[in-house]
Amino acid sequence: MIVAYTSFTQAGLSHALTLARGLKARCPGWRLCGVLVDGDAPDQGWRSAFDVVIEAEALYGEAWRGFVFSHEAAEACAAVKGRALKRLFAEGADKSFYLSPDIAVFDDLAEVETRLDEASILLTPHQLEPNDAPQAFRDNEGLALARGVYNLGFLGVRNDATGAALAEWWAGRLDAACHVDPAQGLYLDQRYFDLVPALFERVEALRDPGCHVAAWNLSRRRLEIADDGRILVNGRFPLRFYNFADDGGLTERYAGQRLAPYELWAYYRRALAASGAPPARGWAYGVFDDGARVSQGARRLYRADPELQARFPDPFAVGPEGFRAHLLASRPDLV
Amino acid sequence: MSGPPAELRVRLIQAAYEAAVAEGRYEAPQTRRAPSRARLYRDGLLTLLAPHFDYAFYAFENPEFADSGLDELEHYNFFGWPKLRNPTAWFDTGYYLSSNADVLASGDNPFWHYIFKGRAEGRAPRRPRGAERAVLDGLEPPEARASRPSADLPRLSADAIAQRLAPLIAEAVGFLYSFGAQAPSHVGFVTMQASPLRGGALFKTMPAPWSETQLAIDGASLGVATDADIAKALAGLRAAMPARRAIAVHGLAGASVDGLLAIDAALEPDERRFHLSDYASLCANRQLLRNDVAACAAPPPDSQACFVCVYGEARRTQLQAVEKLFQSLPFAVLAPSQSALALWRRASSLAHESALVAAPVRLDERARPAQSAEIGALGAEGRPVRVAFVGPRTLAAGWLTFARILETCGELSAYALHHFAVAQDLRPSRNLFNVEIAGSPTALRDLLVERRIDLVVTAAEWAEPFSYPAVAALAAGCDLVALRHSGHAAELVETLQRGRLFADGEEAVEFFVGGKALAYACERDRFPRYVADLRLDAAAASAERRA
C-alpha cells in the first residue's frame, strides 16, 4: 500500500484539497491521508477528498493540548509529520510520501514511487545545480544554508528497518523541538534532515528536476509549456510537482521573461478558489478557550518551562487556575 | 525599371542578407534621433530627464495636465508620479515604487531614479511580462463570462420569418443560411445571415428552442428568433424553396449545436460549408491562445497544457458538441490558408466530406515596379528604415512585440516606426508615426506604398488563419517580420521568402536592436520593389473578415 499524506489547518484546507485532487487524478492507486491540525469545521464535505482523515490530536492523546500550545500553526503542521508517519507504517503502508499542502501534482508519480524500491528514504534538495550570480546564490543556496539542504515539503519513506528507524528518530526530534529558531539551528522539521544522509542508509536525493520545482530553484529550472502539451523543465523533464509556497518575490526575479511559471500560478489560484473548502476560520489553537488570542510570547514561555507544562497540562483552559490567569498575574505583557 | 524575376529576386535578397550578417557588415545602430525640440527647465534635473519623457503619451493619458499651468514633464514631476501616473508607455511608476522600497522611501521622482540610477543597477522599469500577467490575473473560465444580447431587436415567430421569406424565395435560384458572418450575396440567391444573440465564447449544447439567433436577410436586419422557430419556418417553406440550398458556418462561438442541426434538418441543403475562420472547432479559445496569453497549437485535451489552461475544461465539452456537428453534417471545409488547414488537420480528426484552401484575397502575380524617388543609403539620417505595425494594440495581433521594438529602437535614427490602425486604436506616442486606416486591403496597400514602408511587423501571437495586413504589405512591396507561430503571415514568409521569421517576440526585437533589420532592409533596397494588385474572392473574404 502506498500512502500519500499531508498536514494542514482549516486555513490551509483549500491547498490541501487541491493537492488531494491532483494526487487522486495522477496517482489513482494511492491512499490519501489528511492530518488535520485544527478543530473541526462545521462543513464536513471536504473529508471525502481523502481516503482517511486523522485528527492530529489522536496521535498525541492527553499530551496534545500542551504540545500544540507550544507551537505556531506552521510549526504544529510540521511537528505532527513524524508521528503520522509512524501511524501510517503501523497501519500497513509499504511506502509513504509526505507532500505539503502547498504542492500541486501535474504528472504521474510512478517513477518517483519506484525510487523507493531501491532507496529507503527519498529527499528533494532545494537546489540541484549551483548558482553563479551573487544574488542568485544568496536567494537560493543561502536559503538552503539557513533552512536546510532538503525541502521537507516532500519526503518519501519505505516501511523497512531503515524507514522505521527514521520515523522513530524523526518523531522524537519533532516531539522535542519543531520551531523556527535560527539561533538553535532549527527551521521547523527541515534542518534535522541535513543529518539524515549521514545517520541512515539508502538515502537518495531525488535528482529529477521535474520534482519539487519552486520559486527557490527557478533560477536553475527553466519551465516551458511545449506544443505537444507537456510542461517541461529544462527542455526535457516533465513537470511532476510544483511547490506554490509563498515566494517573497523570487518567482518574479527568476521567471524572467518566461510565462509558464505565471501560468502555473494562475492555474493554482483558480484551483484554490474552486476547491470547495469552507470559508477559512481562525486556528482553533490560536486562542484560549475563552477566545482570547494566544501570544507568541506565551507559547515560548510555556514551551521553555517544563514546570509550567506540568502545572498546566491544558494551557488553553481558562479559569482562576488556568495558564491565562497565571500569565495575567505574572506576565501581563504576554497576554 | 526592371530586375530579375520575382522568385530569383527574393532568393538573391535572402542570400545577400545572410552574407551581410555572416560578414558582420552591419552593426547595431547607435545614432539617436535628434530631439524634435529641446526643453529647458529651471530645474536642471528636469532638463536632463526631458529627452527620456514621452510628452505625447503623457498628454493623451493625463488630459487634466492642460489645466495645471505646467507642461507635461513638470506635471509628472509634481503631481503625476505621486498619483502613480506613467511618464512613458514602458515605465510603470507604481510597480517601480512598490518593488524598490529605497526609492519609495527617498521621495525621489521614480522615473528620474530609473533613468539615472536604476537602469544601470539592473532594476526593472515595469513588472516583467506585465501585460500577460495582467491578463492571467483577470482570467475567468469562459463559461462564467457574461454574455449579453447584442441589441434590442424584435422577436420573430416562425410565421413571421416565413412571411418575410416566402416572397423572396419565390424568385430566387438558391437559398443560403449563413451562420456567424456577413455573408456575401450570390447572384440570384437569398441569403439569411444568422449570428448568436448573446455571443459568448462557447459552442453550446442548449436545445434549439432555447438558442436565440439574430437574423438578417440580404443585409437587412430582421430580428431575433429561436433556432427551433427558424427551423419551423424553413420546414414550412420546403416545398417553395429553390432547388439549390446551402448552409455555411463561419464560426461556432455562441452557437448551439442542436440549433444548427435543427435548421439543417429543416433546410435539407445540398451544400454544407464550414469555414475555418478561427479554431473554435478545436478549442473553446478560438484563437488557440492558452490562458489568453500563449499560442498553444491545440495539444491533446488531456494534456498538462489544457490542465493548467482556463479553457481546458470547456474545451472537452466543446469538442463533444463539435464532434456531434461534424458527425451529423458532411461539411466541405474551407480554409483561408494552407497553414490553417494543416493545423486543423493535425489537431483534429473530425469527419468531413472535403477540405480545401480558399484564400479571400490573393496577390496578383502581375506586379508593377514601385515608384521610388528616394536616394541615399537606407538607414542613414534622413532615410530611415520604415517599419510598420498594422492592427489593434492587442496581445493576439502581436502589439507587444512591436511595443518592445518601439521601446528599444524608437530613439534610433536608423528606424522610423509607424502604427497603421483604425482611429480608435491609435495612441500618440514618442517616436511613433500614427496612420489612420479604413476600408479595404487595397486601401491599406496604397497607404503602405504612400508612406514607403519597408518592413511590416506581422508578429501575431496566434496562428492567424488569414492575415490581411500581411497580404496588403506584400502587395505594397514590403517584407514581413513574423513569428513562427503567427500562422498565415509565417506561411507567407516561408513560401514567398519575403521577410524573416523568429521563434518569439524577443528574437524579433533583437533583429531590430542588433541591426539585422537594417541589414535586411538595405540588402533588399538594392533591388527594385514591386507593387501588386489584390484579387478579392468575395465569398471567402466575407467569411474571413470576421476572424
Indicate the residue of B128, B296, B306 with minimum beta-carbon distance to A257.
B128
**Whole-angstrom distance, CA of residue A155 vs CA of residue B302:** 28
User: Which of A222, A241, A273 is the endpoint of a domain?
Assistant: A273
pLDDT at B543: 44
Q: Name which of B59-63, B102-106, B373-377 the model is least confident about.
A: B373-377
Report if residue A199 sits inside a domain. yes
| Grid coordinates belonging to A280 | 477559512
CB pair distance less than 8 Å for B305 and A225:
yes
Q: What is the tens place of the pLDDT at every residue in B312-352? A: 999 999 999 999 999 999 999 999 999 999 999 999 999 99
* Cβ neighbours of residue A332 closer than 8 Å, sequence gap 6 or more: none
Q: Which of B74, A289, A44 is nearest to A55 (CA)?
A: A44
Domain assignment present for residue A17? The answer is yes
Task: Measure CA B314 to chain center.
Answer: 24
> Which cell is A173 given?
526530534
How far is the alpha carbon of A140 from chain B, nearest alpha carbon, in Å? 19
Class of domain B6-28+369-531 (CATH, top level): alpha beta
pLDDT at B371: 67
Q: Which residues of B284-306 are buried (b: 16+ CB within 10 A; e: fewer)?
A: bbbbbbbbbbbbbbbbebebbbb
pLDDT at B182 over 80: no
* 8-state DSSP, A49: G
A93 and A171: one domain?
yes
Q: Please, are residues B322 and B281 in contact by the beta-carbon 8 Å criterion?
A: yes
Element at B403 (helix H, strand E)? helix B399-409
Using the Cβ of A143 and the Cβ atoms of chain B, whether some distance falls under 8 Å is answered with: no
Tell me: do A268 and A305 sit in the same domain.
no
The reply to whether A202 and A317 lie within a common domain is no
CA distances (Å), B234 to each of A134, B195, B230, B242, in order?
74, 17, 6, 12
DSSP A10: G
Q: Span A241-270, mean pLDDT?
A: 91
- Cα-flanking dihedrals φ and ψ of residue B534, to 5°? -115, 130
For residue B36, pLDDT over 70 is answered with no
Higher-confidence position of B524 and B382: B524
Q: What is the pLDDT of residue B184?
A: 63
- Closest Cβ–Cβ partner in A230, A255, A266 for B139: A266
Q: Phi and psi at residue B212, in whole multiples of 5°?
A: -110, 135
- A84 and A213 share a domain? yes
Q: What kind and span of H or E run contains B221?
A: strand B220-226
Chain A touched by B383 (CB under 8 Å): no
Compute the nearest-CA separation of A272 from chain B (Å).
13
Average pLDDT over residues A188-195: 93
Contact A266 B291 (CB under 8 A): yes
List of chain A residues whose C-beta atoms are within 8 Å of the C-beta of residue B297:
227
Whether A104 is covered by a domain: the verdict is yes
Mean pLDDT of B154-171: 91
A230 and A268 part of one domain = yes
Q: Inform me whether the C-beta atom of residue B308 falls under 8 Å from chain A C-beta atoms.
A: yes
Any chain B CB within 8 A of the CB of A24? no
User: pLDDT higher for B513 or B1?
Assistant: B513
Q: Please tell me which residue of chain A has the smallest CA distance to B296.
A: A227
Q: Which residues, numbered 488 to 527 in chain B, qualify as contacts with chain A under a Cβ-Cβ cut-off of 8 Å? A: 506
A236 touches chain B (CB under 8 A): no
Q: How far is the C-alpha of B547 from the C-alpha of B535, rounded, in Å? A: 19
Q: Give the three-state DSSP class for B438.
A: coil
Chain-centre distance for alpha carbon B92: 25
Identify the pLDDT of residue B374: 61
Q: Kindly state whether residues A266 and A305 are assigned to the same domain.
A: no
Distance from CA of B310 to the nearest CA of A (A): 7
Give tens-digit pLDDT for B104-131. Answer: 999 999 999 999 999 998 889 999 999 9
Q: What is the pLDDT of residues A12-61, one digit of tens each?
A: 999 999 999 999 999 999 999 999 999 877 678 899 999 999 999 999 99
- The domain spans of chain B are 6-28+369-531, 54-87+91-125, 158-363
- Is A262–B132 a contact, with Cβ atoms under 8 angstroms apart? yes
Query: Could you give the CA distance from residue B384 to residue B238 in angstroms, rounded to a whole number?
Result: 64
Distance CA B511, CA B520 (A): 9
Q: What is the pLDDT of residue B31?
A: 83
Tell if the CB–CB gap between A264 and B139 is shorter than 8 Å.
no
How confident is the model over B349-356, as a mean pLDDT?
A: 94
pLDDT at position B547: 37
- A129 and A24, same domain (yes or no): yes
Whether A125 and A190 share a structural domain: yes
- Would you call B279 exposed, middle or buried from its count of C-beta atoms within 10 A (0-12, 13-18, 19+)? buried
Whether residue A281 is contained in a domain is answered as: no
Residues of chain A with pLDDT > 90: what percent? 79
In a domain, A280, yes or no: no
Contact of B163 with B114, CB cutoff 8 Å: no
Angle at B459 between CA B453 and CA B463, to 5 degrees: 135
| DSSP, res B107 | T
Going by pLDDT thresholds of 50, 70 and 90, the confidence category of residue B544 is very low
**Phi and psi for A66 in degrees, rounded to 5?**
-65, -40
Percent of chain B residues past pLDDT 70, beyond the cut: 93
A263 vs B139: CB contact, 8 Å cut-off? no
Same domain, yes or no, for A306 and A161?
A: no
Return the minimum-mean-pLDDT range out of A164-173, B30-39, B239-248: B30-39
Are the CB atoms for B111 and B93 separated by under 8 Å?
Answer: yes
pLDDT at B542 > cutoff 70: no
Model pLDDT, residue A167: 97
Specify whether A243 is located in the same domain as A317: no
Q: Hey, are the CB atoms on B137 and A266 less than 8 Å from each other?
A: yes
pLDDT beyond 90 at B528: no
Distance CA A180, CA A77 (A): 12
B303 with A228: Cβ contact below 8 A? yes
Q: Is B290 on the interface with A (CB under 8 A)?
A: yes
Nearest-angstrom CA–CA distance, B514 and B518: 9
Q: Are residues A261 and A170 in the same domain?
A: yes
Q: In this predicted model, which residue has the larger pLDDT, B152 or A261?
A: A261
Position A278 in a domain = no
Given this chain, do its domains B6-28+369-531 and B158-363 carry the same CATH topology?
yes
Q: Which pLDDT belongs to residue B378?
A: 78
Q: Where are the beta strands (DSSP E) in A144-214?
A: 150-158, 180-181, 186-187, 203-205, 213-214
Grid cell for residue B79: 503631481
Whole-angstrom distance, CA of residue B463 vs CA of residue B460: 7
Give B303 to chain A, closest Cα distance, Å. Answer: 5
**Burial class of residue A176 in the structure, from the number of CB atoms within 10 Å of its CB (0-12 exposed, 13-18 middle, 19+ buried):** exposed
Give A110's pLDDT tier (boundaries 50, 70, 90): very high
Statement to judge: residues A174 and A82 lie in one domain: yes
Residue B141 contacts A, CB cutoff 8 Å: yes
Domain of residue A191 covers 2-273
**B299 contacts in chain A (CB < 8 Å):** 227-229
pLDDT of residue A94: 97
Q: How many A×B Cβ pairs under 8 Å?
A: 72
What's the structural domain count of chain A?
2
Range name among A85-94, B39-48, B133-142 with the lowest pLDDT average: B39-48
Mean pLDDT to the nearest integer, A66-72: 95
pLDDT tens, residue by residue, A292-317: 999 999 999 999 999 999 999 999 99
What average pLDDT does the segment B283-300 reach? 95
On chain B, the residues whose CB falls within 8 A of the CB of A254 are none
Other beta carbons within 10 angstroms of residue A94's beta carbon come to 14
> Is the model's pLDDT at B304 over the cut of 90?
yes
Contact criterion met (CB < 8 Å) for B304 and A106? yes
Rounded distance, CA A16 to CA A243, Å? Answer: 12
> Which of A107, A238, A259 is closest, CB to CB, to B129?
A259
To the nearest whole angstrom, how far is the Cα of B280 from the nearest Cα of chain A?
Answer: 18
Give the residue ranges of DSSP H helices in B244-303: 257-267
Options 1.20.120, 3.40.1000, 3.40.50, 2.60.40; CATH of B158-363: 3.40.50
Using a pLDDT cut of 90, give the percent of chain B over it. Answer: 66
Residue B382 has pLDDT above 80, yes or no: no
Which is higher by pLDDT, A43 or B424? Answer: B424
